[in-house]
Chains A and B, each alone.
Chain A
Amino acid sequence: MATTTLHPPIAQPYRRSALYEWITTTDHKKIGILYFINSFVFFFIGGLLALGVRAELAQPGLQFVNEDLYNQFFTIHASAMLFLFIIPIGAAFGNYVVPLMVGAPDMAFPRINALSFWMLPAAGILMMGGFLAVGGAAAEGWTSYPPLAGPAYSGTGTDLWLMAVTLIGTSSILTAINFLVTIFKMRAPGLTLFRLPIMVWTQIVTSVLTLLATPVLASALIMQFIDRNYGGNYFDPGNGGSVVLWQNVFWFYSHPAVYIMILPFMGIISEVLPVFSRKPLFGYRAFVFATVAIGALGFSVWAHHMFTTGQVFLPFFALFTFLIAVPTGVKMFNWIATLWRGQLVLKTPLLFAIGFLTMFLIGGLNGAFAAAVPVDFAIHDTYYVVAHLHYVLFGGSVFGVMAGIYYWFPKMTGRMLDETVGKIHWLLMFIGFNLAFFPQHQLGLVGMPRRIADYAADAGWGDLNLVSTVGAFLIAASTLPFLWNIFASLRAGEVAGDDPWEGNTLEWATSSPPPPYNFDHLPEIHSTRPVFDLRHGADAGSTH
């Protein structure tokens, strides 16, 4: 080799403000934290809107808002929670954790990563800006069905909503490309695909779903925008269009999207359970194949949202919907078998993970009922559906979010969250959640439709609605200990150290928080648990 002694130029740190640093950062960890902050801001806005909805429904009669404002509240509540909280916070975990888990210095395209993030606050402002527009925000539900969402019945708020969701979709697509290239091209030496943490596998499948489904949503949104603003006729039956066409293209995205909204959190649970059970994950390969199967089957079930239109082939979509229960069941048994005879460490992340398992199980079971066509005809558009979707999206995804926050917060900040406050948070949220949503099953079965602001006093729905509202406010109260916990920990939390939980995966092999570009050295990787191997010696057990 040449023996030139030319030293490479050494980058000198130069002073600039912290604000400038955060706005211009391309570091995946800082962008991840920005994602978290942005997601939680919209979680709280969406939560406040939900409180408005629940307050109005607590008693018969209109007490707080009129029907029009009520419609805006539930529409923007759902849109904010789905598009500005759950989907982005999945990307937040992915951004922070995936490059660390695969041993990469950053994402494959750091600047595109920053672009993806900055589209989200812009989209959020557009969507919320609807409340200031003439005619108010979008008010036709997050599904935006024409003709209700057509030019005749809705105003500027709907246009803003369409722009916002298109922007969020673009952001998701770019993020998905970034994740896939990072995972397939930048893994550390020795980290084969079947040694990847399950969290990374769920991000792969989520990204593929995003890549294939989200552009179809973009085309649907653009068709609706054209109908509304440029005199188009896509969804206008009077001029050759079709309203069911919207439902088809919309649900072609929005059913795979529910897996985009749950898989990252299944990934989090699959990291938390082994660490706090002191066992490897049961059935790693079965888990990977089940994840891929859920993703694939997810594209063949969209019309189960449209059973009552009478324009879909019912047996096909019902059969495939039931089939999805198979890989989901595989995962459920994997998780339970991981816990089985483990040495459980009942810290807050595990509590939230167990909350996920139990609540998601209920959400899965009541969903299977809805997949049966005759049952669906009875419960379509009732509160039963509201109960189902909250059991999977709140009981599943949000419990997963919290498990992930409590698990990785020490890695992100170098400080521990307080266990006692964390357990209070968990208990309040668990009780509040079940109070809020379990009664909605019964409300749906006795016929209460969703998306109504008022109901007759003699309908007999008052008591259960009141219980549900109390539960919603309890959920809101549970965020107070959460916020306090984060504030107190950042101020004077216990120092975490590199590996406070005795973790398995590569992020625990670097400092807390990790330095720029993440690793000075990587451990040799011979299994799915490189940091476990490092701690216990290479011959301590893991075989693949």
Chain B
Amino acid sequence: MTTPELALAPIGEEHSPVATLPHDARGGISNPVLGMLLFIVSEIMFFSGLFAAYFNVRALAIEWPPADIEGFGINPIIVVATGCLVTSSFFAQTAVRAIRRGDRTTFLRAISITLGLGISFLALEFTDWTILYSEGITMGSGVFGTTYFTMTGFHFAHVVGGVVMLSVVLYRGMLGQFSASHHDMVEATDLYWHFVDIVWVVLVITLYLLPGR
């Protein structure tokens, strides 16, 4: 049957069919930022799986950290690395606030500092692993080593991902591709970076600050 021609409303005034793809036609949060938020939800569940496994084996253990693990504890490297990451979140937020105002200079400076702090974190974390390895704490050191290196390792991988995203933001920013009205990628990267930062804080509390048993 044919569709009657009544009650038809045009959906867009522009000529290109792609022009009717709504950017944020319904107002509010933009599509890429909502996509990133949902992605972060899935990432939270991923880390929840790792944390659940950690607390499960920890609860089953007679002693935690196990007796054969020596020389493990909070150290200056971890403190400085944590400082780097937490500070970098403030700079990331500064960058977003700047680009919302259209202040590209402050934006680029803040993003560069965020990126530098992120890379410093990676270097410090890697150093800490090397030291642990030299002390004989490895992936195979019972379930303690396995959980420790899996959790910090996956966090490390996520920071690497964040550093790549920040680099792209910096590169595109230097090309002048972001403005007060067009910077979804900056907002999305910023959210992701905060997420990575919060995971680290929870990791430090869980792995280093929770009293042993």
Contact = CB atoms under 8 A, between A and B. Distances in A.
B169 to A, nearest CB: 18
A11 B56 CA distance: 58
Given A216-B48, A248-B56, A517 B3 contact: no
Interface size class of A (residues with CB under 8 A): 35 or more
A234 B146 contact: yes
A227 B66 CA distance: 19
A499 B60 CA distance: 62
Contacts of A363: none
B11 A522 contact: yes
Interface stretch (B16-24, B74-82, B121-129, B175-183): B16-24
B3 A509 contact: yes
Given A216-B48, A231-B139, A188 B11 contact: yes
A106 B31 CA distance: 13
Interface string B1-30: 111101111110011111111101110000
B210 to A, nearest CB: 17
B11 A521 contact: yes
A186 B22 contact: yes
Nearest to A253: B49
A324 B186 CA distance: 43
Given A177-B39, A239-B142, A245-B53, A534 B7 contact: yes
A213 B48 CA distance: 10
Contacts of B206: none
A216 B49 contact: yes
Contact of A242 (B9, B16, B57, B154): B57
A215 B49 contact: yes
Contacts of B3: 498-499, 509, 531, 534-535
A222 B14 CA distance: 48
Nearest to A502: B1
B200 interface: no
B141 to A, nearest CB: 8
A524 interface: yes
Contacts of A180: 34, 38
A226 B8 CA distance: 58
Nearest to A214: B42
A185 B25 contact: yes
Interface string B136-153: 001110111111001000
Contacts, number: 170
Contacts of B142: 233, 239-240
B46 A215 contact: yes
A538 B60 CA distance: 65
Interface string A193-236: 00000000000000000011111111110110011001111101
Contacts of B41: 211-212
Contact of B57 (A109, A178, A241, A517): A241
Interface in B93-137: none
Contacts of B18: 105, 517
Nearest to A499: B1
A232 B146 contact: yes
Nearest to B2: A498
Interface string B169-207: 000000000000000000000000000000000000000
A523 B7 contact: yes
User: DSSP class of B's interface residues: helix, strand, loop or mixed?
Assistant: helix
Nearest to B150: A226
Contacts of B31: 108-109, 181, 185-186
B206 to A, nearest CB: 15
B49 A230 contact: no
Given A8-B16, A242-B57, A519-B11, A181 B2 contact: no
B50 interface: yes
A34 interface: no
A114 interface: no
Contact of A181 (B7, B35, B47, B147): B35
A216 B46 contact: yes
Given A105-B21, A517-B18, A517-B20, A177 B2 contact: no
A219 B53 contact: yes
Contacts of A109: 31, 35
A474 B150 CA distance: 48
Contacts of B10: 521
A21 to B, nearest CB: 17
A185 B2 contact: no
Contacts of B42: 173, 176-177, 211-212, 214-215
A53 B207 CA distance: 47
Contact of B56 (A188, A236, A242): A242
A187 B25 CA distance: 9
Contacts of A498: 1-3
B45 A216 contact: yes
A249 B14 CA distance: 50
A283 interface: no
A522 B9 contact: yes
Contact of A240 (B26, B57, B138): B57
A219 B187 CA distance: 27
A329 interface: no
Nearest to A227: B146
A533 B66 CA distance: 70
A519 B53 CA distance: 49
A374 interface: no
Contacts of A106: 21
Interface centre among B17, B45, B60, B61 (most CB of A within 10 A): B45
A502 B2 CA distance: 10
B69 to A, nearest CB: 11
B1 A534 contact: no
Interface of A: 7-8, 10-11, 103, 105-106, 108-109, 173, 176-178, 180-181, 184-189, 211-220, 222-223, 226-227, 230-234, 236, 239-242, 245, 248-249, 252, 497-499, 502, 509, 516-517, 519, 521-524, 531, 533-535, 538
24 contacts: A8-B15, A105-B17, A177-B38, A177-B39, A178-B35, A181-B35, A185-B26, A211-B41, A212-B42, A216-B45, A219-B46, A226-B150, A231-B138, A232-B146, A234-B143, A234-B146, A234-B147, A240-B143, A240-B144, A252-B52, A499-B1, A502-B1, A517-B18, A534-B7
Interface of B: 1-4, 6-11, 14-22, 24-26, 31, 34-35, 38-39, 41-43, 45-50, 52-53, 56-57, 60-61, 66, 138-140, 142-147, 150, 154
Given A215-B46, A499-B1, 7 more contacts: A176-B38, A211-B42, A222-B154, A239-B143, A240-B57, A522-B9, A523-B7
